[in-house]
Amino acid sequence: MPGSAGHRPFSAAGPYWPVVAGPYGAGALVAPPERPPLPDFPTLSARLGAVREDFGKPAGYLAEVDLPPTATEGVHTLSRIVRQDLPEAVDSFVRTRWWTRLTPGQKPPERHLERQLTVLREEAEHLASALRDAEVRRQETHTRHLEERGG
Protein backbone atom coordinates (compact mmCIF):
# COMPACT_ATOMS: atom_id res chain seq x y z
CA MET A 1 0.00 0.00 0.00
CA PRO A 2 1.50 3.25 -1.03
CA GLY A 3 1.55 5.80 1.71
CA SER A 4 1.37 3.21 4.49
CA ALA A 5 3.70 3.60 7.47
CA GLY A 6 5.66 0.46 6.52
CA HIS A 7 6.80 1.85 3.20
CA ARG A 8 7.73 5.44 4.08
CA PRO A 9 11.38 6.25 4.72
CA PHE A 10 12.20 6.89 8.36
CA SER A 11 8.65 6.02 9.30
CA ALA A 12 9.66 5.42 12.92
CA ALA A 13 10.61 9.09 13.21
CA GLY A 14 7.35 10.14 11.66
CA PRO A 15 7.22 13.70 10.37
CA TYR A 16 10.42 14.48 12.30
CA TRP A 17 12.64 12.29 10.13
CA PRO A 18 14.57 15.32 8.70
CA VAL A 19 15.43 16.35 12.26
CA VAL A 20 16.67 12.83 13.04
CA ALA A 21 18.43 12.12 9.73
CA GLY A 22 19.81 15.63 9.23
CA PRO A 23 22.62 15.40 11.83
CA TYR A 24 23.70 12.03 10.43
CA GLY A 25 23.90 13.46 6.92
CA ALA A 26 25.75 16.56 8.13
CA GLY A 27 28.20 14.36 10.05
CA ALA A 28 28.91 12.38 6.90
CA LEU A 29 29.66 15.60 5.03
CA VAL A 30 31.85 17.06 7.78
CA ALA A 31 33.73 13.86 8.69
CA PRO A 32 37.04 13.38 6.91
CA PRO A 33 37.02 10.90 4.05
CA GLU A 34 38.31 7.42 4.69
CA ARG A 35 42.08 7.36 4.32
CA PRO A 36 43.75 4.88 2.01
CA PRO A 37 45.89 2.27 3.73
CA LEU A 38 49.54 3.08 4.37
CA PRO A 39 52.05 1.59 1.92
CA ASP A 40 53.41 -1.75 2.99
CA PHE A 41 57.13 -1.06 3.22
CA PRO A 42 59.45 -3.88 4.25
CA THR A 43 60.57 -3.91 7.85
CA LEU A 44 64.13 -3.02 8.77
CA SER A 45 64.91 -6.71 9.28
CA ALA A 46 63.58 -7.56 5.83
CA ARG A 47 65.61 -4.76 4.24
CA LEU A 48 68.78 -5.91 6.03
CA GLY A 49 68.10 -9.46 4.87
CA ALA A 50 67.81 -8.23 1.29
CA VAL A 51 71.07 -6.27 1.60
CA ARG A 52 72.84 -9.33 2.99
CA GLU A 53 71.51 -11.40 0.11
CA ASP A 54 72.64 -8.75 -2.39
CA PHE A 55 76.14 -8.75 -0.91
CA GLY A 56 76.28 -12.51 -1.42
CA LYS A 57 75.37 -12.40 -5.12
CA PRO A 58 78.66 -10.95 -6.42
CA ALA A 59 80.64 -13.72 -4.71
CA GLY A 60 79.15 -16.37 -7.00
CA TYR A 61 79.69 -14.21 -10.02
CA LEU A 62 83.27 -13.31 -9.14
CA ALA A 63 84.12 -16.96 -8.48
CA GLU A 64 83.47 -17.68 -12.18
CA VAL A 65 85.48 -14.78 -13.60
CA ASP A 66 89.24 -14.74 -14.16
CA LEU A 67 90.16 -11.35 -12.72
CA PRO A 68 93.40 -9.44 -13.30
CA PRO A 69 95.60 -8.90 -10.20
CA THR A 70 94.48 -5.28 -9.67
CA ALA A 71 90.83 -6.34 -9.70
CA THR A 72 91.58 -9.23 -7.33
CA GLU A 73 93.06 -6.76 -4.88
CA GLY A 74 89.93 -4.66 -5.35
CA VAL A 75 87.71 -7.63 -4.57
CA HIS A 76 89.75 -8.24 -1.41
CA THR A 77 89.32 -4.59 -0.32
CA LEU A 78 85.60 -4.60 -1.10
CA SER A 79 85.16 -7.91 0.69
CA ARG A 80 86.87 -6.52 3.78
CA ILE A 81 84.59 -3.46 3.72
CA VAL A 82 81.46 -5.58 3.39
CA ARG A 83 82.36 -8.45 5.69
CA GLN A 84 84.38 -6.70 8.39
CA ASP A 85 84.43 -2.90 8.41
CA LEU A 86 80.77 -2.13 7.75
CA PRO A 87 79.34 -4.69 10.22
CA GLU A 88 81.86 -3.57 12.86
CA ALA A 89 80.91 0.10 12.39
CA VAL A 90 77.19 -0.63 12.76
CA ASP A 91 77.65 -3.04 15.67
CA SER A 92 79.84 -0.64 17.63
CA PHE A 93 77.31 2.14 16.99
CA VAL A 94 74.43 0.02 18.29
CA ARG A 95 76.35 -1.01 21.40
CA THR A 96 77.72 2.47 22.12
CA ARG A 97 74.32 4.08 21.61
CA TRP A 98 72.90 1.88 24.36
CA TRP A 99 75.67 2.83 26.80
CA THR A 100 75.43 6.52 25.87
CA ARG A 101 71.85 6.55 27.13
CA LEU A 102 73.16 5.56 30.54
CA THR A 103 75.94 8.18 30.55
CA PRO A 104 74.66 11.35 28.85
CA GLY A 105 76.92 14.23 27.89
CA GLN A 106 79.36 12.22 25.77
CA LYS A 107 80.00 12.62 22.06
CA PRO A 108 77.03 11.06 20.20
CA PRO A 109 77.89 7.71 18.61
CA GLU A 110 76.10 8.86 15.45
CA ARG A 111 79.06 11.16 14.71
CA HIS A 112 81.52 8.27 14.81
CA LEU A 113 79.25 6.14 12.62
CA GLU A 114 78.91 8.96 10.10
CA ARG A 115 82.68 9.45 10.03
CA GLN A 116 83.31 5.71 9.64
CA LEU A 117 80.78 5.43 6.81
CA THR A 118 82.33 8.45 5.11
CA VAL A 119 85.80 6.84 5.29
CA LEU A 120 84.44 3.56 3.93
CA ARG A 121 82.62 5.36 1.10
CA GLU A 122 85.80 7.25 0.20
CA GLU A 123 87.76 4.00 0.22
CA ALA A 124 85.19 2.37 -2.06
CA GLU A 125 85.20 5.39 -4.38
CA HIS A 126 89.03 5.29 -4.53
CA LEU A 127 88.85 1.59 -5.33
CA ALA A 128 86.28 2.16 -8.07
CA SER A 129 88.40 4.96 -9.53
CA ALA A 130 91.54 2.81 -9.52
CA LEU A 131 89.70 -0.09 -11.18
CA ARG A 132 88.18 2.26 -13.77
CA ASP A 133 91.62 3.73 -14.54
CA ALA A 134 93.10 0.25 -14.91
CA GLU A 135 90.33 -0.75 -17.31
CA VAL A 136 90.77 2.46 -19.34
CA ARG A 137 94.49 1.73 -19.66
CA ARG A 138 93.73 -1.87 -20.65
CA GLN A 139 91.25 -0.70 -23.29
CA GLU A 140 93.71 1.88 -24.65
CA THR A 141 96.44 -0.75 -24.81
CA HIS A 142 94.13 -3.08 -26.70
CA THR A 143 93.17 -0.29 -29.12
CA ARG A 144 96.86 0.47 -29.81
CA HIS A 145 97.52 -3.25 -30.34
CA LEU A 146 94.70 -3.50 -32.86
CA GLU A 147 95.81 -0.35 -34.69
CA GLU A 148 99.42 -1.53 -34.87
CA ARG A 149 98.40 -4.98 -36.00
CA GLY A 150 96.17 -3.58 -38.74
CA GLY A 151 98.66 -1.39 -40.11
**Is 124 a domain residue?**
yes
Range of the domain at 83: 58-150
**Is 28 a domain residue?**
no
Q: Which of 126, 51, 122 is nearest to 90 (CA)?
A: 51
Question: What pTM, to 2 d.p., does this model score?
Answer: 0.51
**Is 117 a domain residue?**
yes
What is the domain count for the chain?
A: 1
**Is 21 a domain residue?**
no
**Is 24 a domain residue?**
no
**Is 1 a domain residue?**
no
Region class of 3: left (phi > 0), else alpha (psi between -120 and 50), else beta: left
Which pLDDT value is given to residue 87? 87
**Is 44 a domain residue?**
no
**Is 121 a domain residue?**
yes
80-97: per-residue pLDDT in tens?
A: 888 889 888 988 888 888
